Amino acid sequence: MKNIYFLGECMVELRAMSEATLHQSFAGDVYNSAVYLKRSFAQISTSVVTALGQDNLSKKMLERFESEQLDTQFVFAHDTKVPGMYYIETDEHGERSFIYWRSDAAAKKIVDFLTPDLVEQLSQGDMFFFSGISLAVIEEGARERFWQIVTQLKNAGVKIVFDPNYRARLWKNTEETKAQYHLAFSVADITLPGVEDLTTLYNVHNVDAVIEYLQKYKIEEIVVKNGPASVVTKHDNTLQSHTIIPVKNVVDTTSAGDAFNGVYLGARLSGCTIENAVQLAAKAAGAVIQQPGAIVPKDIFQLAMAEAAI
């Protein structure tokens, strides 16, 4: 059985439905990707690597992971911390705004839980995924150990996957981000950047510039996401541009990139060509953006995917 590990943070989501009603759910980039991967490729063992607390919301979050058939062996319960949380509201023009409470979240402690024995287990995996958000969440003092772990996994033959997913507010300054991203690109076998993510950091404004910027790293597989415009891949020096069919009824683009990542990686782990993997991933992302929220109802997602032939 193929297996993939997603390291990062899942948060409690509070969505304003009306003046008096909040809808409570769970979301976070790596978790979203894990969910969409598992829903599309049930045969792949999909694990979330994170830390929660011992509170009731943490228990519900864990139950949610399990209800999505995710492996929770690497979901740890911190003694005193609780999960991060965010509030989202959409104004009358469709503009979304967020408030976060995550600076003291349990997930920031994830590296502390990864004992040498557990790292040894992780090194039996096929893929290990982390994002720019995961990097920002890991405490500064734990970064050195994190990179040691990633290097150990890479040396053991695990494919290292990195999505830069840049969120400026999570970083002290761009120098700090760039130093961490340099380490990530240096070790990555697969990267899935969105053009917008890298614009502020490296002054790259289009797909070609992103590919050009990443030339200096030895990344086997580069997948550049550019919204509805295109996806461009580079694998073993072969550049391919893939056409995306724009979705007309875009309701909420939250987690489009996450769904894309999960399904793309699931497809690649299942032996699909890059071309087929992109088409399936785009289909998933297209389905997700036609519904509100990061995680769309399972039946709606599965119906949309059933129409996609591999």
- Sheet with 85-90: list strands edge to edge: 21-27, 11-18, 85-90, 96-101
Structure-block tokens of residue 250: 């875009």
Should residue 250 be labelled a site residue for ligand ADP when binding is judged by CB under 6 A?
Answer: yes
Query: Is residue 274 within the footprint of ligand ADP (CB under 6 A)?
Result: no
132 near ligand ADP, judged by CB under 6 A: no
Phi, psi (deg, nearest 5) at residue 276: -65, -40
Q: In the bound complex, what is the minimum distance in angstroms from residue 231's beta carbon to ligand ADP?
A: 5
Q: Is 36 in the site for ligand ADP (CB under 6 A)?
A: no
β-sheet bridge partners, residue 48: 6
Number of residues forming the site for ligand ADP (CB under 6 A) = 19
| Integer Cα distance of 293 and 277 in angstroms | 24
CA 69, CA 305: separation in Å to the nearest integer? 18
Tell me the β-bridge partners of 228.
226
Residue 151: CB partners within 8 Å, gap ≥ 6? Answer: 187
Q: Which of 198, 244, 277, 280 binds ligand ADP (CB under 6 A)?
A: 244
Query: How is residue 207 written in tokens?
Result: 């797909």
Considering beta carbons, is residue 160 or 289 the nearer one to ligand ADP?
Answer: 289
Residue 166 interacts with ligand ADP (CB under 6 A): yes or no: no
Nearer to ligand ADP, 53 or 194 (CB): 194
- The Cα-based distances of 294 to 27, 36, 232, 256 in angstroms read 6, 10, 24, 8
Q: Which of 247, 304, 305, 308 binds ligand ADP (CB under 6 A)?
A: 247
* Distance set, CA 123 to CA 155, 187, 194, 241 (Å): 9, 15, 28, 33
Q: Is 258 a catalytic residue?
A: yes
Give residue number: closest CB to ligand ADP: 257
Q: Does residue number 287 form part of the binding site for ligand ADP (CB under 6 A)?
A: no
Closer CB to ligand ADP, 119 or 170, in the complex? 170
Closest residue by Cα to residue 195 from 210, 213, 185, 180: 210
Q: Which stretch binds ligand ADP (CB under 6 A): 100-108, 118-126, 256-264, 293-301?
A: 256-264
| Cα three-residue angle 118-120-123, rounded to 5 degrees | 110
* 207 lies in the site for ligand ADP, by CB under 6 A: no
The single residue listed with the structure tokens 């469709």 is 94
> Whole-angstrom Cα distance, residue 297 to residue 302?
9
Cα(93)–Cα(81) distance, integer angstroms? 37
- 8-state DSSP, 225: E
280 binds ligand ADP (CB under 6 A): no
| Contacts to ligand ADP from residues 217-236, by CB under 6 A | 225-228, 231
Contact between 285 and ligand ADP per CB under 6 A: yes
Task: Point out which span in 177-185, 263-271, 279-287, 300-308 binds ligand ADP (CB under 6 A).
Answer: 279-287
CB of 36 to ligand ADP, least distance (A): 11
Q: Nearer Cβ to ligand ADP, position 62 or 244?
A: 244
* Nearest distance, CB of residue 194 and ligand ADP, angstroms: 4
Which residues of this chain interact with ligand ADP, rule CB under 6 A? 194, 196, 225-228, 231, 244, 246-247, 250, 253, 256-257, 260, 282, 285-286, 289
Give me the active site residues, please.
258
